[in-house]
């Protein structure tokens, strides 16, 4: 296998430590080197069997954290990495993915406070390589037992931080029972309880409680960002076609079965703020080719 060009030398780490000791804040940029077929650390043909940072980047971060200076880690690349416990010791961690030619400006705007960080994870960041593959929408293990703690995510799907804090009200259903070809309407109030303007992302996950096939514990079906001034409240009303509660039967047909469906409303796949249950009535429905696959949301500011 071709050797990755990432350096394994630690010779420059003392120089970085000296610069950190003379600074008020450290911004450490780490991550991947893009390349094809092992010419880099990420890209086509550049798989890995580890969640550790390539090269000596972990040693660099450990040395910088040891200076006692606030360390902000900016990570670029195509996959999440495990900082081996430094996640709890650094001042901040930004996942910038592959930000492009204007990425430097965007990162600087976030770090200096010119704009609010608003991103939400589109993957789960696992706690260890032993958990791979790990998905937020996993099924229960054999016997119905949940995943072990160390097989979970350090940062769950949908996770992200911003400038302020929000209070969420109770989730409300327009109807507790809907037909198999109907719609579920769900509302929730969100209030900015902080001292700064900011935004939050309300996420709606669905769980099919009893089905003829084993179904995931949750699946994201709707989400909506809402921006609020300090003390401001908004009501978000989601409309989800029951067709979105479908799965593919063994004969290849996409169907919706009647029964109870759990709607989990949260700030991430793990941070569920409220749960309501709707009963879908009628007979099992085979969906047409052009079924409704999108939800809608109306935001009403108080």
> Cα–Cα distance between 200 and 263 in angstroms, integer?
19
Q: What is the mean pLDDT of the chain?
A: 92
CA dihedral 77, 78, 80, 84 (to 10 degrees): -50
Q: Are 237 and 173 in contact (CB under 8 A)?
A: no
Query: Which tokens sit at 266?
Result: 């949260």
- CATH fold of 166-301 reads Immunoglobulin-like (2.60.40)
The percent of residues above 90 in pLDDT, for the chain, comes to: 77
Query: Which tokens sit at 98?
Result: 């592959």
Query: Which tokens sit at 114?
Result: 């010119």
Domain ranges of the chain: 13-115, 166-301
CATH 3.40.50.1700 fits 13-115, yes or no: yes
The percent of residues above 70 in pLDDT, for the chain, comes to: 94
Q: What is the pLDDT of residues 163-221, one digit of tens each?
A: 999 999 999 999 999 999 999 999 999 999 999 999 999 999 999 999 999 899 999 99
Q: What is the pLDDT of residues 4-58, one digit of tens each?
A: 578 889 999 999 999 999 999 999 999 987 777 777 777 787 777 788 999 999 9
Query: Which tokens sit at 260?
Result: 């109870």
Q: What is the pLDDT of residues 224-283, one digit of tens each?
A: 999 999 999 999 999 999 999 999 999 999 999 999 999 999 999 999 999 999 999 999
Q: Please report the pLDDT score of residue 148 as a whole number.
A: 61
């Amino acid at each position: 296998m071709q050797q990755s060009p990432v350096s394994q030398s630690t010779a420059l780490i003392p120089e970085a430590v000296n610069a950190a000791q003379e600074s008020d804040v450290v911004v450490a940029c780490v991550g991947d080197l893009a390349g094809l077929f092992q010419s880099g650390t990420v890209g086509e043909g550049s798989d890995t069997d580890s969640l550790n940072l390539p090269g000596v980047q972990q040693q660099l971060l450990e040395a910088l954290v040891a200076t006692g200076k606030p360390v902000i880690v900016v990570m670029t690349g195509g996959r999440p990495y495990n900082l081996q416990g430094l996640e709890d010791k650094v001042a901040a961690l930004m996942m910038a993915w592959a930000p492009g030619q204007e990425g430097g400006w965007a990162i600087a705007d976030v770090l200096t406070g010119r704009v609010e960080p608003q991103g939400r994870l589109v993957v789960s960041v696992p706690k260890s390589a032993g958990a791979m593959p790990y998905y937020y929408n996993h099924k229960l293990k054999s016997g119905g037992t949940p995943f072990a703690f160390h097989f979970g995510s350090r940062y769950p799907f949908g996770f992200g931080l911003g400038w302020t804090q929000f209070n969420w009200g109770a989730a409300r259903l327009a109807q507790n029972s809907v037909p198999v070809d109907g719609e579920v309407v769900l509302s929730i109030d969100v209030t900015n309880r902080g001292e700064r303007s900011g935004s939050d992302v309300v996420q709606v996950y669905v769980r099919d409680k009893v089905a003829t096939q084993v179904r995931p514990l949750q699946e994201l079906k709707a989400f909506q960002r809402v921006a609020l001034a300090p003390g401001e409240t908004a009501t978000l009303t989601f409309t989800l076609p029951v067709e979105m509660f479908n799965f593919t039967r063994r004969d290849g047909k996409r169907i919706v079965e009647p029964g109870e469906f759990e709607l989990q409303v949260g700030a991430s796949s793990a941070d569920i703020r409220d749960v309501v249950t709707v009963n879908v009535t009628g007979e099992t429905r085979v969906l047409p080719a052009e079924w409704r696959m999108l939800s809608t949301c109306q935001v009403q500011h108080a």
